[in-house]
Amino acid sequence: MISEIKLQRQQAGKDEVIRVILVRDNWEVTINNDDLIHETDSGMLRIVRANGRLTSINPEHICMVCISKRGAF
């Protein structure tokens, strides 16, 4: 799933974000073009935000990934 997120991020336009929908109800994460993403040694998806904050996602909890217009949801 991490490779799919990286692929969609390459395809997303400047006014688009990557929506990562998690298995828990009403839990989702967005990835912007200026965020850095990589896989950690433990297999987690790490997102380094433009402001320096970190977000880590367990890829086993991801149920869907899509490209959305920024501000569409």
Give the pLDDT confidence of 16-43 residue by residue, as tens digits: 999 999 999 889 999 999 999 999 999 9
pTM over 0.75: yes
**Parallel, antiparallel, or unpaired for β 62-69 and 54-57?**
unpaired
The predicted pLDDT at position 73 comes to: 65
Place of tokens 């990934």: 65
End-to-end alpha carbon distance in the chain: 22
With the CA atoms of 23, 16, 55 and 2 taken in that order, what torsion angle do they form, in degrees rounded to the nearest 10? 60
With H, G, I as helix, E, B as strand and everything else as coil, classify residue 3: helix
Residue whose C-alpha is closest to residue 24's, from 60, 52, 73 = 60
Q: What domains can you pick out in the chain, each with its CATH number?
A: 2-69 (2.30.30)
Per-residue pLDDT of 55-66, as tens digits, reads 999 999 999 999
The predicted pLDDT at position 1 comes to: 86
